[in-house]
Amino acid sequence: MRRLIYTVLLSFLFIPWTFSQGSDFGNWMIYFGNNKLNEKFNIHNEVQYRNYNAVGDLEQLLLRTGLGYNLTPNNNNLLLGYGFIRSENYQNLDTKLVLNEHRIYQQFITKQSFGRVIFSHRYRLEERFVADDFKMRFRYFLATNVALNHKLLVPNTIYLSAYNEIFINAKNQLFDRNRIYGGLGYKVSNNLKLEIGYMNQRFFVGNRDQINLIANFKF
């Protein structure tokens, strides 16, 4: 078991570089933080560094924060937040178009536990200010974690992680994108979880594959 745990941790360091040369795989390095202020209020903070390759060819930098309120103890969380997103989109092989976006969002998260299996539902509404344009978008996120070596998701647990998220625009082309993800995680402690996984992101036209490296902190 200890050898398996070490393998999971080392994969965070080496797998992205496996896809760094001559691959269409992108790499997203993601930090999620949650600061519990009291039994009701929490502060969410998030950094996502998204690359076209392993590292160094920026696709998008996303910074997000928000203030949350639990309707019930440790569950059913309402949150109001703000995000800043810098996107660098290729126009051709050598030229990128840089766009800065300011985003206001509202979301509701509810969780369900069935022994070693946990489900999470997130409903999010976004108001997006992209350059001189204004857009609105709805997102629904369904995720599950399944503990493998313990009956519950406790410290020192290896777990499977999967989710699907659909994005719906408020006008024009309704379907924006869909993300499907599968990965392997390790709960280091009650305050830290690490994950590595594969995500496919499908757009109205085309799709893209990403390796995701995820760290979840609780304070």
Mean pLDDT along residues 84-102: 91
Domain boundaries, the chain: 2-25+82-218
49: exposed, middle or buried (C-beta count within 10 Å: 0-12, 13-18, 19+)? Answer: middle
Asked whether 69 and 77 are in contact (CB, 8 A), the reply is yes
Q: Any idea which residue has 């992209």 for tokens? A: 130
Q: What is the pLDDT of residues 174-206, one digit of tens each?
A: 999 999 999 999 999 999 999 999 999 999 888
State which amino acid sits at residue 36: K
Pairing of strands 175-189, 117-130: unpaired
Residue 13 in this model has a pLDDT that exceeds 50: no
3-state secondary structure of 72: strand
CB 182 within 8 A of CB 165: no
Give the C-alpha separation, 79 to 122, whole Å: 11
Residue 131 has a pLDDT of 84
d(CA 119, CA 147): 12
What CA–CA distances, in Å, run from 211 to 117, 195, 206?
24, 11, 18
Alpha-carbon distance of 20 to 88, in angstroms, equals: 19
Residues forming beta bridges with residue 120, ordered by sequence position: 111, 143
pLDDT tens digits, 50-59:
999 878 889 9
Task: Quickly state the pLDDT bin for 21 (edges 50, 70, 90).
Answer: very low
For the chain, counts of helices (H) and of strands (E): 1, 11
How far apart are the C-alpha atoms of 89 and 154, rounded to whole Å?
Answer: 41
Report pLDDT for 10.
47
- Range from 14-28, 97-111, 197-211 carrying the lowest mean pLDDT: 14-28
pLDDT > 90? residue 24: no
Name the DSSP class of 156: T
Amino acid letter, residue 48: Q
